[in-house]
Amino acid sequence: KHEATPDNEKGNLGYLIELCVNQMICEMLNTRLSELRQLPRPPFINAHVYDGNFYVSKTKDAFTGVAVCKEGEIEDGITALLREIERARRFGFTESEYARIRSEYLRHLESAYNERDKRKNDSYVSEYVRLFLDNEPAPGIENEYALFNQIAPNISVQDLNRFLGQLITETNQVITLFLPDKEGLIYPDKEIILNILKQVKADGVIGVIHSNGC
């Protein structure tokens, strides 16, 4: 968990940059999790991360990891998810990962910019509702596209990794399980979950190594 940005501080450029950085971090980690799903024996059915409200709290945000596990493989799924989050926390992301996700983000913005005249009304409504309720920025795709093209060259992968270190900490962590009430299903208890968390932190995880040396 971490402090949420107060509504009165969301109108500045720094907050918009923070949103972009946050989104790219989540996309890079989600790419790694997606690669695990391609293994012959994937550790989970699906998994992803995001950063946002801690449940319904408006004053606390949380960097959140979600894993959907097979019956009987709950511990394996939790371990794999936590290990990838810990790997990112310790070693960050590589230049090649960042270059790829930055290009994809720019292509997404460019596509939205080119299709701006075809944008549906309901997307405007949801954007302005967030602006009204939470003071979330609504700069418009024209300004967002121009802004990101201007700031992207000045944001390094080291900047992202430093920001990631503020999102993922070794303390103030919460693990929640949502499990079916099914006869015969063995549920991991608190001690097992805490041992998984302790073991992941003690493991000698290594950083991601790419064949191109990045």
Is residue 211 one of the residues assigned to a domain?
Answer: no
Higher pLDDT pick, 207 / 34: 34
Residue 63: strand pairing partners: 51
Is residue 212 one of the residues assigned to a domain?
Answer: no
Is residue 22 one of the residues assigned to a domain?
Answer: yes
Higher pLDDT pick, 133 / 165: 165
Question: pTM score, two decimals?
Answer: 0.86
Please give the backbone phi and psi of residue 195, each rounded to the nearest 5 degrees, phi first: -65, -40
The whole-number pLDDT of residue 209 equals: 55
The whole-number pLDDT of residue 98 equals: 96
* CATH code at position 35: 3.30.830.10
Q: Give 108-164 pLDDT, tens digit per residue.
A: 999 988 988 888 777 777 777 777 778 788 888 898 889 888 888 889 999 999 999
- Please give the tally of structural domains in the chain: 1
- Which positions ≥6 away from 20 have C-beta within 8 Å? 105, 148, 151, 155
- Which of the four pLDDT bands, split at 50, 70 and 90, describes residue 42? very high
Q: Give 196-208 pLDDT, tens digit per residue.
A: 999 998 886 777 6
Is residue 209 one of the residues assigned to a domain?
Answer: no
CA distance 49 to 65: 4
- Evaluate if residue 213 carries a pLDDT over 50: no
* The two structure tokens encoding residue 58: 């408006």
Range of the structural domain that residue 189 is part of: 2-202
